[in-house]
A and B are shown apart, each in its own frame.
Chain A
Amino acid sequence: MRRDDGTFLWGGLTAVVLIWIVISSGTRLCVSTPGTSGPSVLSLSDLSNLKMDNSTLNADFLNLTYWGSVSRAYGTSVVQIIPNTVIGFFNKSAEMRSWAFENIPSPPPWLSSGIVGFMEAQLAFLRVKALAAGNSTLAALIVKSYAASVVGYPVAALDYISMNGVTAIKTYLQTGNVIAAVCATYPSQLGALYAEAFNSSVPRERRAQYLGNALAVTTLMVVLAGKDGFAPKFQDALNRVGLANAWGTIKPYLSRIGSAVSVRASMLTFAILEKVAQRFPQDSTWATGLTADRIESMVEVLHDKGVTNDEIQNDITHVAQAASNSPAEDGAASVADAISYQDGGGITVRVKSQNRMVLYADENGRTQTISAEFLQNHVLGFDPEKASILQVHYKEAGVTVYHYYSGSSEEGVWTPTVPADVAKRGDVITISIDVLTMEDFTRQLPKLKFTNEYSASWVSDRSQVTEYTVSGGQLKIAFSESPLSNVESFEVDGINSVLGFDGKMTHLDFQVLDAFNQPREMRLVYKGYGDAQLRISSGGQNLEFSQVLLVSSDEIRLRFVENTGGFSTSVATIYVKDPSTLYALDDMHEGGLGSKIEAAYKGYYINQVNLQRQLEYDIVDHGGVYDVGRIGAEIAYTIAEEKLGLKNIILEEPSKGGTDLHTPGKTVVIQARMLTDPKTLTPDMLKGTIERQLGDLLNNLKQDKENNPLAQKGYAILSYLDPVTKIIRTIIVELHWP
């Protein structure tokens, strides 16, 4: 990942170069002075005030050995500085030289002979003049005059031809960066360098090196900004080809491409930009900036992928063809992205305001986003007309994030939001994209672990997903759990699985069918990284989901401890097997009701309901209201199936409200309840308690009838635990609605 403004890369290169100079010189080349942090840091005026009143020191200017040391330092500086300027390109590229000859009416002489030789010749000329002076003071004055010759030269010219160099150095100095403060010698500290070169307390060899470095910078300034300098000529040439306005934007790209691959690659890019500028003159700054950016993106991706420089240059040539042929101003950029994606496996993108992902943004805020066409061409299975989930692989962060594409409503472009914990505004990041499939989702989904932190009853202490398997629309989640009623592993079978997006998170929705073929909506939530969640619907009218805190099975009941908000939890139960196997019923007899009930309804009773497992005994013994209520409903289910002759009874989740049990179509509705409070079930209290509870159940049945006009029968099935005998008895009241 890099930053978007280009400063860091070039600054880094500059620092490396300068540090290398420091190391190679073995001297205190970099001089820190108080003036380096001020806004006038690039002022060259102090060059006119160089002191040189030491006769011993001046004598060095007549010494050939001394000048030899100066020449070596001069040469080193030239070699380091030139590549970071446009001159470097001209120096290395025959094509660029041809371009210059074509577009610069009176090209400088060094363009054909080479800048290094030209600059060495300039030093040689100065050395000859100094040595020929015969007088050390005069020789020193000659050198000083040369240094002072650049006083008043416009630094902007240097900025124009340097590949963002001066601006970068200035930035470093003003921000007080240590490396910059120590090593920024070009050209702001030219005065300081010269001062050190004429400082008698500095050893002679070191002075020679300072002087060599200072003279190299001075000579370059003369070449560029002096009378008949190269900078204005170059600017004029850019103007001819339509790149003058865009130059400030595109030169950092050229620099980086040149550094990463080759000067030839940079030159090829320059030629593409020239073509783009000529084809789209009204919008050349945007079009060339976009094209440069996408070519650089391509170069960066291919380079990181290990593609050879020759191949990269070849790819740039392909972009050049598009630049010539495409009717769209982003045609060349699109081809660069296509090559980047196909050959490099990704593209770079920028993170802009509100963490929006864009391909390119200019300084005015105009952006180029990823197009649906690009996705269609390069992402297998992507359909621009259909909503889909795309998995974006963020290379630098090493994570995959699921993003939503809403289909045709995106109007041909896609601008996803990058998660703040993956990248931040200003970052340039490399991505690749795939359509997310259910197989991908389940393969990448962490294996969820659950513990019974909320001390829910009648569930295992912990459970864990061991495997997700998806095939077609069928999802199978395998679990292991700490033993509960001898169950140590179980599976949850989902049907109608489908990927979706809720506006924030990607999810895999599925339904779990219970033993009564009733579906329960469930949801796996994952964003591609971080934590995942299993959620379950409340079962009501609105499809709202709660986070599942624990999944547990006792073979008959699949139980989900769910977070219902804050620290509140509740338990949802899905029957995976017929619960009637849990109960053995005595015979059902008619009658047995008090007069109040008998007068109005037909009644039955069962004197003993036997529980088949210890677990249900435990639930009745110390279960909460919900748990005991479920036992009551399960007993009612068993009675309905075995004694009342009802078929295909559906046992509802109580949180749904309404009838507790019913037949398909709700022609028969059942209300169930179980009582265990011993004080309300004593012989003296029993009749009153039962009448009141049955009365309430019958009222509920009436409401069920009102809500389900097709209901023809209703049953109130009330079970209670006799506090003395500890036997479960059940009373059944039947209602008929003709």
Chain B
Amino acid sequence: MNYVLIKRYNPIYDFFLFRYLKENGIDVNENVTLKEVERIAVSFQNKAAAALGQQPTREVGLKFSSELPQPERVLWYYAYSWKRQPDSRPSTSYSFEGIFGDKMPSTEQLKELEAQIPAGRGKLLFSKEEAAVEIVNFYKRYLRDPLRKVLNGSSIRRDFLKYFSHDQMNVLLSSPLVGDEKRDNAARTMAREALAWLDAMTPEKVVQDVERTLQEHWKDTEHIRFHGDEKKTKSCDHGSEYVEVTCYLNVQNDSENVSLQPARGYRVWVKHNWEPDYADVIFPQYAVRKLES
């Protein structure tokens, strides 16, 4: 079975986004600064506020966003996202989808768009092999290297569970071991196992996991279950050693969102809960589309 993958974060989205804004009379380009884009977004908000007879605002906020026409809303969301994570441009699929009425274009449309990208600036559609390389790099940078550093420390017990799988976490938490030294030794043993697992990771192994989980998902539709009381959406999860596939199926419009991401490590780089986490930028996430042929 063949698939194409669409990244959650892809700087090339900005190329299309700013082209779209320009085509719709909003005079900004890819070199725009956060301050400038905020200023423009606030001016849009205040135009909407004035139309509603309300006080103007000084900062980009949610209040009038739903009142904005789509092109202005696209820019507004870009400013809103950027402000919340100011060290990285919000070149996410959320922004990109705004160009197309908040829906990711079809694979055929994406191919056509990809053909318009200037040489050397990137692409829109990725293979599972390319995704595997990025996933391996993520694991190495954000799990393997920091874990190795933690293991070299005198005590590893504070803030280390994030490097482990759920099973490992549960094993450790249910362990009857008492005493700092014993628990620390147990954690070290587990951390060394995790490190060995990370060291053994290769793109080829990740590709195998990707194929297995996707095949598992697409072999039937019975496994996709309703959740919640309203019975509007169905979902399923397919875990593997290295990756995880989740699917959300909107029963009403029969739309299916299948996503692929690493099996662990979400927000693993975040030091404090309430700081910008850049999860969409750092954590590799892909929408997966099945190709018919």
Contact = CB atoms under 8 A, between A and B. Distances in A.
B169 A595 contact: no
Contacts of A594: 227-228, 235
A706 B248 contact: no
Describe A's contact surface by its main secondary structure: helix
Interface in B199-215: none
Interface string A690-701: 011001100110
B266 A695 contact: yes
A134 interface: no
A622 B84 CA distance: 9
Contacts of B159: 657, 703, 707
Contacts of A248: none
Interface in B41-62: 57, 59-62
A256 interface: no
Contacts of A683: 232-233, 250
> Which size bracket describes the interface of B in this complex?
35 or more
Contacts of B83: 624
B44 to A, nearest CB: 14
Interface stretch (B17-25, B121-129, B131-139, B272-280): B272-280
A699 B162 contact: yes
A312 to B, nearest CB: 67
> Which size bracket describes the interface of A in this complex?
35 or more
B188 to A, nearest CB: 14
B63 A679 contact: no
B157 A706 contact: yes
A36 B83 CA distance: 76
A590 to B, nearest CB: 12
B227 A707 contact: no
Interface in B35-82: 57, 59-63, 65-66, 77, 80-81
B62 A699 contact: no
Interface string A668-679: 000111001111
B158 interface: yes
A283 to B, nearest CB: 56
Contacts of A664: none
A655 B274 CA distance: 8
B220 interface: no
B267 A696 contact: yes
A695 B166 CA distance: 10
Contact of A687 (B84, B160, B227, B274): B227
B272 A657 contact: yes
B61 A621 contact: yes
A671 B273 contact: yes
A706 B161 contact: yes
Contacts of A618: 61
A591 B227 contact: no
A190 B98 CA distance: 101
Interface stretch (A125-133, A271-279, A625-633): A625-633
B259 interface: yes
B273 A660 contact: yes
A622 B57 contact: yes
A654 B161 contact: no
Given A702-B161, A703-B162, A696 B255 contact: no
B169 A688 contact: no
A593 B161 CA distance: 25
B229 interface: yes
Contacts of B232: 683
A366 interface: no
B172 A706 contact: yes
B257 to A, nearest CB: 6
B162 A687 contact: no
B157 A687 contact: no
A593 B227 CA distance: 8
A691 B237 CA distance: 11
Given A654-B274, A679-B77, A692 B266 contact: yes
Given A696-B267, A702-B173, A687 B250 contact: no
A629 B274 contact: yes
B282 to A, nearest CB: 13
Interface string B252-277: 00010101000000110001111111
Contacts of B158: 707
Interface string B162-206: 100000010011000000000000000000000000000000000
A626 B159 CA distance: 21
Contacts of A721: 62
A203 interface: no
B235 A595 contact: yes
A699 B61 contact: no
A654 B173 contact: no
Nearest to A622: B61
A469 B20 CA distance: 61
B9 interface: no
B160, B161, B274 — most chain A CB neighbours (10 Å): B274
A221 to B, nearest CB: 83
A627 to B, nearest CB: 9
A696 B169 CA distance: 13
Contact of A705 (B63, B173, B225): B173
Contacts of B59: 457, 622
Given A594-B228, A678-B62, A679-B77, A687 B248 contact: yes
Given A622-B61, A625-B274, A684-B255, A596 B237 contact: yes
Contacts of B286: none
B273 A622 contact: no
A673 B279 CA distance: 14
Contacts of A655: 272
A399 to B, nearest CB: 42
B225 A591 contact: no
A174 interface: no
B229 A677 contact: no
B272 A595 contact: no
Contact of A684 (B62, B80, B162, B248): B248
Contacts of B173: 702, 705-706, 737
Contacts of A688: 235, 246, 248, 257, 259
A592 interface: yes
Nearest to A625: B276
A76 interface: no
A678 B67 CA distance: 14
A684 B85 CA distance: 23
B13 interface: no
Contacts of B77: 678-679
A723 B161 CA distance: 33
Contacts of A700: 273
A103 to B, nearest CB: 77
18 contacts: A594-B235, A595-B235, A596-B227, A596-B235, A624-B276, A654-B273, A657-B272, A679-B94, A683-B232, A683-B233, A683-B250, A688-B235, A692-B266, A703-B160, A705-B173, A706-B172, A707-B157, A724-B66
Interface of A: 457, 591-596, 618, 620-622, 624-626, 629-630, 633, 654-655, 657, 660, 671-673, 676-680, 682-684, 687-688, 691-692, 695-696, 699-700, 702-703, 705-707, 721, 723-724, 726, 737
